[in-house]
């Protein structure tokens, strides 16, 4: 059942974070639905511009609609990840998406507000909610000065002004995470103090944490042992999600970790079967491995086991 992102956020706020997982193909989609049913969690299917270019928006929609039929128990929203203005409009007009993200965080503050405001107007007229981003997502290294470190994080006063003036429904904040497999040089964690300050200024308002993959060291080691060359890859400690939930983090974005599962399965398969060329063989290993990964992540996000109560609240 496709629901609105707002509905999920209202039920999740302060209790659990909704896992937002990127998909690009059929195998990921099957594993994603399987894992969420296995762990009894609601979730968000995220589609990036890159995914739309790779798989074609129509193909992605068809795959998701097929998964919805195959897994009638699933409760999920469909979200555009890191959209530009035109892609947001395309998704709003498609009638398929529950929410869009307008990422104008690279623009100056006023321009970010203006672009976000335009998208909000179009989206709200269509009953769709909007995630915006404020701040520079990036790993904050341990050895830089405190002032410099703070300047890289989302400013709580700016966050309040941004939300009020743009009308966005949720906000991606920079609180120490970054995209990809190389997040921190040291043992950097999340900036809980800053999260608490943002929440104080925006009580009850859903905050989004991008760049939240954990980059498990065991996974990296297995990839490298099977011919990979991921040097110094590092991610967010998944045990910290539970601490972020009461501070207003309602959506947690995870993509890289799923790519690592895919890479590990396929590298190991072809290393162990150099004669192989039937891609369905590693595909059959990948789908349940991805499902296990999703189920494990949902435990960390505290969304595991909430599906029955979510379904009841929405009925």
Q: Which stretch binds ligand 13P (CB under 6 A): 36-44, 49-57, 89-97, 249-257?
A: 249-257
Residues 17 and 241: beta-carbon distance below 8 Å: yes
If 0-12 CB within 10 Å is exposed, 13-18 middle and 19+ buried, where does residue 284 land? middle
Q: Of 22 and 112, which CB lies nearer to ligand G3H in the complex structure?
A: 22
Tell me whether residue 239 is exposed, middle or buried, using C-beta atoms within 10 angstroms of its C-beta: 0 to 12, 13 to 18, 19 or more. exposed
Backbone angles phi and psi of 200, in degrees to 5:
-60, -40
Contacting residue, 52, 210, 234, 300, with Zn ion by CB under 5 A = 210
What is the footprint of Zn ion within residues 251-270 (CB under 5 A)? Answer: 253
Q: How far is the CB of 30 from Zn ion (least distance, A)?
A: 23
CB-wise, 139 or 248, nearer to ligand 13P? 139
Is residue 212 near ligand 13P by the rule CB under 6 A? yes
Q: How far apart are CA 52 and CA 96, in angstroms?
A: 13
Q: Which does 204 bind (CB under 5 to 8 A by kind): ligand G3H, Zn ion, ligand 13P, none?
A: none
Q: Using CB positions, name the residue nearest to Zn ion.
A: 210
SS (H, E, C) 100-146: EEECCCCCCHHHHHHHHHHHHHHHHHCCCEEEEEECCCCCCCCCCCH
Taking CB under 5 A as the rule, which mask of x and - marks residues 155-194 in contact with Zn ion? ----------------------------------------
Pick 29 or 48: Cβ nearer ligand G3H: 48
Asked whether 239 and 252 are in contact (CB, 8 A), the reply is no
81 is catalytic: yes
Residues that bind ligand 13P (CB under 6 A): 22, 81-82, 179-180, 210-213, 253-257
Residues lying near ligand G3H in the complex (CB under 6 A) are found at: 22, 48, 50-51, 81-82, 179, 255
């Amino acid at each position: 059942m496709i629901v609105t992102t707002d509905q999920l956020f209202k039920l999740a706020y302060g209790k659990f974070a909704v896992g937002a997982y990127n998909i690009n193909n059929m195998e990921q989609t099957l594993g994603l639905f399987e894992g969420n049913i296995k762990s009894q969690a609601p979730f968000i299917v995220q589609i990036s511009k890159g995914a739309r270019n790779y798989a074609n928006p129509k193909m992605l929609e068809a795959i998701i609609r097929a998964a919805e039929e195959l897994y009638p128990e699933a409760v999920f929203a469909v979200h555009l990840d890191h959209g530009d203005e035109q892609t947001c409009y395309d998704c709003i007009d498609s009638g398929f998406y529950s929410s869009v993200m307008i990422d104008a965080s690279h623009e100056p503050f006023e321009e970010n507000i203006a672009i976000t405001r335009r998208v909000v107007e179009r989206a709200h007229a269509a009953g769709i909610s909007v995630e915006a981003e404020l701040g520079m997502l990036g790993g904050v290294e341990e050895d830089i000065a405190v002032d410099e470190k703070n300047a890289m994080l989302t400013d709580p006063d700016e966050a309040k002004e941004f939300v009020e003036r743009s009308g966005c429904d949720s906000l991606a904040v920079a609180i120490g995470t970054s995209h990809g497999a190389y997040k921190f040089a040291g043992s950097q964690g999340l900036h809980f103090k800053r999260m608490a300050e943002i929440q104080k200024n925006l009580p009850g308002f859903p905050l989004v944490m991008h760049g939240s993959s954990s980059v498990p060291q065991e996974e990296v080691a297995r990839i490298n042992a099977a011919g990979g060359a991921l040097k110094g890859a590092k991610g967010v400690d998944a045990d910290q999600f539970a601490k972020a939930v009461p501070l207003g983090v309602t959506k947690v974005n995870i993509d890289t970790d799923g790519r690592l599962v895919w890479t590990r399965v396929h590298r190991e398969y072809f290393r162990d079967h150099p004669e192989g060329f039937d891609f369905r063989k590693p595909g059959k290993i990948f789908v349940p491995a991805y499902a296990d990964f999703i189920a494990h992540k949902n435990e960390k996000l505290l969304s595991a086991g909430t599906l029955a109560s979510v379904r009841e609240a929405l009925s």
